[in-house]
């Protein structure tokens, strides 16, 4: 059975800029931390997979550790980290509920088409499950979202670019890797998907447009919708021949052997 597995952040919605960044900064304020990430600094932190892991990177700043009264022991730091992350997740889901985290073009249309065609559709993300489910519901609608499995957060011990989250999705859902397409927006996600033996389509996001996507079968600026400008194909190493927007046939073509006329 054909399967479509989507990342959350940057694929379902432009969550990093409009959701996670302001949520992190809100959590810093609430906990009295002398930290405020701007867009450039947050872009650097995105190289670290997972929200808890990005928060843990603050422990490398000795001045901040002293100012915030961070405990020396690992158990105390873990508890503090979980507290910070719970606050950040709560602020993020509030932003999503307020409609301040826009869904990306084409997501609802293609997910709906895949479900109607009998595909298995799932989401695999390094973000907290509560955050992912909130974004998914906003992006595709609560009714459709209710039937889509979500693999997220600490369900695996290692975050992307480790392939663990995709290997788990394949195993739990009984997927055939040869018939499974992943949609990602970042190099970390691409590396995770391909290391799991899965074909990957990239829809670049505001933070990832300059990353390398050499292993992707298809790279586009967005998935597209009828009321938008035609999509731009940034690289095509497969059999898809997209028009103004990606269609389900284009996703099917990403699972076929590469054609001779692709652009790179």
For 152-185, b where at least 16 C-beta lie within 10 A, e where not — what string? bbeebeebbbbbbbbbebbeebebeeeebbbbbb
Catalytic residues: 7, 9
pLDDT, position 26: 96
pLDDT, position 257: 52
Tokens coding 158 = 């290692």
Per-residue pLDDT of the chain (264 residues), as tens digits, is: 899 999 999 999 998 888 999 999 999 999 999 999 999 999 999 888 888 899 999 999 998 898 888 999 999 999 999 999 999 999 999 999 898 998 999 999 999 999 999 999 999 998 889 889 999 999 999 999 999 999 998 899 999 999 999 999 999 999 999 999 999 999 999 999 999 999 999 999 988 999 999 999 999 999 999 999 999 999 999 999 999 999 999 999 999 854 433 333
pLDDT, position 17: 87
Nearest residue to 111 (alpha-carbon basis) of 102, 126, 122, 101: 122
The overall pTM is greater than 0.85: yes
Q: How far apart are CA 189 and CA 182, in angstroms?
A: 9
| DSSP state, residue 118 | T
235: left (phi over 0), alpha (psi -120 to 50) or beta: beta
């Amino acid at each position: 059975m054909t399967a479509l597995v989507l990342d959350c952040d940057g694929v379902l919605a432009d969550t990093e800029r409009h959701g996670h960044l302001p949520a992190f900064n809100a959590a810093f304020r609430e906990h009295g931390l002398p930290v405020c990430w701007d867009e450039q600094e947050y872009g650097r932190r995105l190289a670290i997979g997972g929200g808890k892991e990005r928060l843990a990177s603050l422990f490398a700043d000795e001045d901040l550790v002293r100012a915030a009264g961070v405990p020396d022991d690992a158990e105390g730091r873990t508890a503090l980290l979980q507290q910070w992350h719970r606050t950040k997740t709560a602020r993020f889901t509030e932003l999503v509920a307020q409609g301040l985290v826009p869904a990306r073009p084409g997501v609802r249309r293609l997910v709906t088409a895949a479900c109607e065609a009998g595909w298995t559709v799932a989401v695999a993300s390094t973000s907290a499950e509560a955050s992912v489910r909130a974004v998914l519901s906003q992006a595709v609608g609560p009714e459709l979202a209710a039937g889509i499995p979500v693999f997220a957060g600490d369900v695996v011990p290692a975050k992307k670019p480790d392939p663990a989250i995709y290997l788990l999705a394949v195993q739990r859902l009984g997927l055939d890797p040869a018939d499974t397409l992943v949609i990602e927006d970042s190099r970390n996600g691409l590396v995770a998907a391909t290391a799991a033996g899965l074909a990957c389509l990239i829809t670049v996001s505001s933070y990832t447009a300059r990353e390398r996507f050499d292993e992707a079968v298809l790279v586009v600026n967005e998935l597209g919708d009828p009321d938008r400008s035609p999509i731009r194909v940034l690289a095509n190493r497969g059999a898809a021949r997209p028009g103004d927007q990606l269609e389900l046939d284009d996703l099917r073509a990403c699972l076929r052997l590469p054609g001779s006329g692709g652009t790179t």
